[in-house]
Amino acid sequence: MTRETMTFAKAMNAGLRAAMDADPRVMLMGEDIGKLGGVFRVTEHLQRDFGENRVLDTPLAEAGLVGTAIGLAMGGFRPVVEIQFDGFVFPAFDQITTQLAKLTNRHDGALSMPVVIRIPYGGHIGAVEHHQESPEAYFTHTAGLRVVSPSTPNDAYWMIQDAIRSNDPVIFMEPKSRYWQKGEVEIDAAPGSLHASRVVRKGTDVTLVGHGAMVAVLLQAAAIAEGEGTSCEVIDLRSLSPVDYDPIVESVRSTGRMVWAQEAPGSTSLGGEIAATVAERAFYSLEAPIMRVAGYDVPFPPAKLEGVYLPDADRVLEAVDRALAY
């Protein structure tokens, strides 16, 4: 098996390159993704190697960008759209939620929409307003969209290829704070399911669940908890819609306790839905209420306050202690 160590961003680049090599219908579109290679250099050298007809630098017009991608998909292409930062997706919100998400259903399944919308999201980079938000709940709430979020370079490499192969529109949430994290990528391994959650650390006392950048925080919390005599199982959600509940429910039936963590604000969020569904399916196994750790219900604060706003290992461990107190 061929393994290479690379950063999350380089793994994304390699995954996009592999998808473009495999299918000439795949094309990339976005602001500054060509010669610059994108703000985070995820598309570096792809325009040089595939040409300006397949890697397009576009105007600052997200609604037009997604609308164009929809038209290209109708014409048989498989466009991959980069939204430069999470907060910039909202000018395209109408195109995504009322057109892209609904066209296949509107045509009774006769028209596929193989469009991938890449959205770097989340905090930890010390940026300004509209550059550190976590808007995943808007899209998981929208029927007709698939929503995924890798947490490791290996998942980044394989999941972007799986997303591009999908005939349904995929919102691909990239935790931007992980772009520089290095990890092993299994270049020739058979890809797993795009929509499977995964146990990344075994444990017996409490189940910790999250996605994207929060997975690293949960693993850190689990390591600290182990030193204090508590065994935490950690599950990487990976797919936000649809959600693969089976590994989560199986874990909760074993541990009897669960803590969910996310960067997004807690009210009416993905975490609430996850908690409610797990409570329905594993009610008689729960020995404590499901605890949720989230960003606060305020706009994302200035960079100097992001450490207060974003969940960290201490907040996760506090929730673990509360769950164990029952």
CA distance 310 to 291: 16
How far does CA 120 lie from the centroid of its chain? 9
Burial class (CB in 10 A: 0-12, 13-18, 19+), 217: buried
CA distance 33 to 45: 9
What DSSP assignment string belongs to 191-221?
A: P--TT--EEEE--SSEEEEE-TTHHHHHHHH
Q: Which two tokens stand for residue 211?
A: 């996605």
Structure-token match 């910790």, residue found: 208
Omega cis (within 30) before 302 = no
Check if the beta carbon of residue 117 is closer than 8 Å to that of residue 146.
no
Q: Which two tokens stand for residue 235?
A: 């599950």
Phi-psi group of 129: left, alpha or beta (phi > 0 → left; psi -120 to 50 → alpha; rest → beta): beta
Burial class (CB in 10 A: 0-12, 13-18, 19+), 150: buried
**Catalytic residue from among 131, 141, 195, 211:** 131
Query: For residue 147, what is the DSSP state?
Result: E
Would you call 131 a catalytic residue per the annotation?
A: yes
Q: Answer positive or negative: Cα dihedral of 296, 301, 307, 310.
A: positive
Structure-token match 């969910």, residue found: 260
Residues recognised as catalytic: 131
